[in-house]
């Protein structure tokens, strides 16, 4: 029996995108959805957070927000090489640059102009449809476990048959360990779900002071798995109906 959540091609190995228009098209969602970027200088261990503010197809440049912590900005000014990565809807986007960075402004706020990367690594890391969840207050969720000092409360931002995104208040990166298995409870329209989850990654958004956690369901029993799959499939059909897309290809 086919699985409606599996994309036809499944997970793919990393692809190197080199066409400028293709690179711009794949970076655009990072701007539109205010996705945090992780920036690291080649010879330094410290990681910095920034955001992609604007793309300019005419000049083939992009604007990066100020760095957090801000001590990294002197490394930008000194022309140090750096690498950037971001995660969006199960895709890891990453690139490196040796090009000089210019200080500029956008709407009166300081930022940095950088040349569009000559190559962008596109890595689809999952093969399950992920449905956005509207009205976050309706989808409360908690994490707990022996390695946590206290239960962490948050909300679900999206869900797939294999995992979901959990949003927690504050900076919880010191509390959470990628690869660790935690106890997970969430309230969904289908009812209360309890299962183990594996934390895949956690990113803190300095502006909103929220921690976005990518989690994968771990050892979920068959009955609960089928309930989640049906729920996600329902959301998928509703989303495609709203977008006016043909959902016939998802029928079995």
| C-alpha–C-alpha distance, residues 13 and 223, integer Å | 32
The model's confidence at residue 93, banded by pLDDT at 50, 70 and 90, is very high
Q: Which tens digit of pLDDT belongs to each residue from 171-224?
A: 999 999 888 899 999 998 888 999 999 998 888 888 889 999 989 899 888 889
Half-sphere exposure for 239 (CA within 13 Å, toward CB): 14
H/E segment holding residue 110: strand 109-115
pLDDT, residue 100, reads 87
pLDDT of residue 80: 93
Task: Go through the domains of the chain in sequence order and give each one's CATH number.
Answer: 15-124 (2.30.110.10), 130-242 (2.40.10.220)
| Residue of higher predicted confidence among 251 and 223 | 223
* Residue 61 to residues 27, 53, 117, 125, Cα–Cα distance (Å): 12, 11, 8, 27
The confidence band for 8, taking pLDDT boundaries of 50, 70 and 90, is very low
- CB-neighbour burial class of residue 155 (10 A; exposed 0-12, middle 13-18, buried 19+): buried
Question: Residue 4 above 70 pLDDT?
Answer: no
Residue 234 predicted with pLDDT over 60: yes
What pLDDT shows up at residue 184?
A: 96
pLDDT higher than 70, residue 78: yes
- What Å distances lie between residue 60 and 24, 197, 226, CA to CA? 9, 41, 46
**What CA–CA distance (Å, rounded) separates 129 from 13?**
18
Report d(CA 163, CA 216) in Å as an integer.
Answer: 4
Q: What is the pLDDT of residue 207?
A: 84
Residue 1 pLDDT > 60? no
Share of the chain above pLDDT 90, in %: 42
Contact yes or no for 129/118 (Cβ under 8 A): no
């Amino acid at each position: 029996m086919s699985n409606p959540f599996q994309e036809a091609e499944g997970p793919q190995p990393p692809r190197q995108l080199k066409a400028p228009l293709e690179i711009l098209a794949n970076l655009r969602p990072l701007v539109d959805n205010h996705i945090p970027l992780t920036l690291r200088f080649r010879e330094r261990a410290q990681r910095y957070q920034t955001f992609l503010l604007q793309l300019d197809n005419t000049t083939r440049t992009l604007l990066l927000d100020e760095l957090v912590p801000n001590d990294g900005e002197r490394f930008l000014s000194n022309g140090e090489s750096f690498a950037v990565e971001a995660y969006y809807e199960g895709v890891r986007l990453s690139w490196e640059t040796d090009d000089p960075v210019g200080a500029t402004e956008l709407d009166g706020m300081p930022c940095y102009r950088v040349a569009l990367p000559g190559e962008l690594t596109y890595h689809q890391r999952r093969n399950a449809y992920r449905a956005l969840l509207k009205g976050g207050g309706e989808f409360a969720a908690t994490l707990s476990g022996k390695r946590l000092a206290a239960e962490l409360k948050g909300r679900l931002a999206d869900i797939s048959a294999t995992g979901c995104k959990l949003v927690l208040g504050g900076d919880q990166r010191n509390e959470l360990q990628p690869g660790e298995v935690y106890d997970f409870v969430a309230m969904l329209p289908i009812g209360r779900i309890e299962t183990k989850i594996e934390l895949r990654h956690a990113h803190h958004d300095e502006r909103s002071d929220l921690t976005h956690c990518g989690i994968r369901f771990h050892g979920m029993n068959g009955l609960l798995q089928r309930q989640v799959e049906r729920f996600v499939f329902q959301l998928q059909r509703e989303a495609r109906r709203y977008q006016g897309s043909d959902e016939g290809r998802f029928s079995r």
